[in-house]
Chains A and B, each alone.
Chain A
């Protein structure tokens, strides 16, 4: 599986400067780069002044709008050329989005396109925020906010040009789980930038500590949840939240297998099949689910879960606890 790191950030945040610096750094060698630009002429690609064949520029418009076909096709074409020895055997892919891109559809493509899923793994989302113009972009442009909300790590660029205290507070409110680092002239340690995203339990703990955040809904439950109730609840979230759900992560105690938690990951109406950990990562065995979204009534997800769980438990009791429920 080839790891993929998505570099995003609003217009002028310094993505191309960063990429230019990264590509001269031996620590970032063996990276294929996919650049998306908004407009007819792929200018950034030329600015990077590289002759590497593993550069791909897409100029078909904002990547998030055409991402299903373009990104998957581009990744798989590169993969095919790598296998055929037509391009160097790169070990990771960096995707630079256009400044106007909403990263969610890009992550969707990485999560849903079957050939991509079989060959690539989304490692992390890194979002650049300009210390000087970032506050205005975050206030005026929902895309900039979504870029921050979906980040696993945040790179605060041009920190020498402005006092970024207020911006840091804004970033911590929008995304308390993401680690933020100052980045001057594109210097970023590869070990940090290219590392896998934080573990789910760490992410949940960091987010739960800031449960008053706008757009975050935290659900914590003491008892185990029937698998059927969880499945139906996820179906309900997909149906009714859809694109309003930017991200869902959770550690859930399932009634049928309570000794280790199931890890949930989802974006919009797309959910990963639950993964099972070998054991609970800490003494805290409560189920914890965090939903980050926009326009979600804060109690709706829990109310729906309670209603579904009641129905499932009552049906299971009626059927002698076998949990088989026909819900046509």
Chain B
């Protein structure tokens, strides 16, 4: 995923959660307010994404994990689990 594609996904996600946050491109990273999201390098696998906050660097192993961490950080409310019947 390119940084612009990631920015578009995160901007839509922030809107979906009803959160207030500015989502901008920052070189190869995407900024969400004071947080910074970067793609992990192949050497970091199975980590795919890093979510950096002041004083903290959180690894995420998938885009779903990244969205979950970001949503929690923004106070976007509790997510529901998939139920298959």
Nearest chain-A residue to B83 (Cβ)? Answer: A270
Contact A232 B80 (CB under 8 A): no
A268 to B6, CA, bound (A): 25
Some 24 contacts from A to B, beta carbons below 8 A apart, are: A232-B64, A235-B82, A236-B64, A236-B67, A238-B80, A238-B81, A238-B83, A239-B82, A269-B82, A270-B83, A273-B84, A297-B16, A300-B16, A303-B8, A303-B9, A304-B9, A304-B63, A304-B67, A307-B9, A308-B64, A311-B48, A327-B61, A327-B62, A327-B64
Q: How large is the interface on B (under 10, 10 to 19, 20 to 34, 35 or more residues)?
A: 20 to 34
Min Cβ gap B40→A in Å is 12
Q: Count of A residues near B, CB < 8 Å?
A: 36
Render A230-243 as a binary contact track against B, CB cut-off 8 A, 1 for contact. Answer: 00101111111110
Contact B12 A299 (CB under 8 A): yes
**From residue 26 to 78 of chain B, which have CB atoms closer than 8 A to chain A?**
45-46, 48, 61-65, 67-68, 71
Q: Quick check: is A112 within 8 A (CB to CB) of the other chain?
A: yes
Contacting residue for B79 out of A239, A273, A300, CB 8 A:
A239
Contact A272 B5 (CB under 8 A): no
Nearest chain-B residue to A274 (Cβ)? Answer: B84
A240 to B83, CA, bound (A): 13
Residues of A that sit less than 8 Å from B by CB: 111-112, 117, 232, 234-242, 244, 268-273, 295-297, 299-300, 303-304, 306-308, 310-311, 318, 326-328
Nearest chain-A residue to B77 (Cβ)? Answer: A242
For the complex, would chain A's binding face be called helix, strand, loop or mixed by DSSP majority? helix
Nearest chain-B residue to A328 (Cβ)? Answer: B61
Question: Chain A CB within 10 Å — which of B5, B61, B80 has the most?
Answer: B80
Contacting residue for A272 out of B48, B68, B84, CB 8 A:
B84
A239 to B83, CA, bound (A): 10
